[in-house]
Amino acid sequence: MVRRSAVKARTQTVNQIKALVVTAPEQLREHLRGLGLSALVHACARFRPGSTLADPAVATKAALRSLARRYEMLTAEITDADKALRELVAAAAPTLLELSGVGVEVAGQLLVTAGDNPGRLRSEGAFAQLCGVAPLPASSGITDRHRLNGGVRSRRQQRPIHRRPK
């Protein structure tokens, strides 16, 4: 959860940086145009905006510097979370990481989904049901199709029941 929220916040920060560059004064926009994300963040984090925030270029530099430093802080937080997750997964299920296509994030999610009682996952079908990806028949007439099961969510959570007041 910590990692996911840091990634989401970092994505929002990148979007804000790019939007601010688009609306920046022409001279600043020319300076930052064509830079890749890493170079853009590095350049913005090193700005020395000045003290006259009434000047649009100075105010834009100050905002870009703040956003770039936030991006760097969130990147460090994500790196720390990845390191901790790798250690936890390696301790809990070291062979899981050896499977093809299973990285640290996927392995961590599998361990969380299985929980303390992996015996309840007797088959692939049981696991699919728990994850909410078990196919359910949704055929009509001669059309043969399936839809995904909502998983552990109850019907009441899927579709709220609107009752009339008595």
pLDDT (tens digit per residue) in 57-103: 999 999 999 999 999 999 999 999 999 999 999 998 888 888 898 88
Q: Is there a single domain that holds both residue 19 and residue 98?
A: yes
CB 81 within 8 A of CB 10: no
State the CB neighbour count (10 A cutoff) for residue 28.
19
Do 90 and 56 share a domain, yes or no?
yes
What domain range is 150 assigned to?
118-166
What is the rounded distance in angstroms from the CA atom of residue 17 to the CA atom of residue 47? 13
pLDDT at 12: 98
Residue 12 sits in the same domain as residue 84: yes
Q: Looking at the whole model, is its pTM more than 0.75?
A: no
Same domain? 75 vs 55 = yes
CA angle 124, 126, 129 (to 5 degrees): 110
Number of domains in the chain: 2
Write the single-letter amino acid at 151: G
Name the pLDDT band for 161 (thresholds 50, 70, 90): low
* pLDDT above 60 (res 155): no
Taking the C-alpha atoms of residue 106 and residue 91, their distance in angstroms, rounded to an integer, is: 15
> Are residues 93 and 150 located together in one domain of the fold?
no
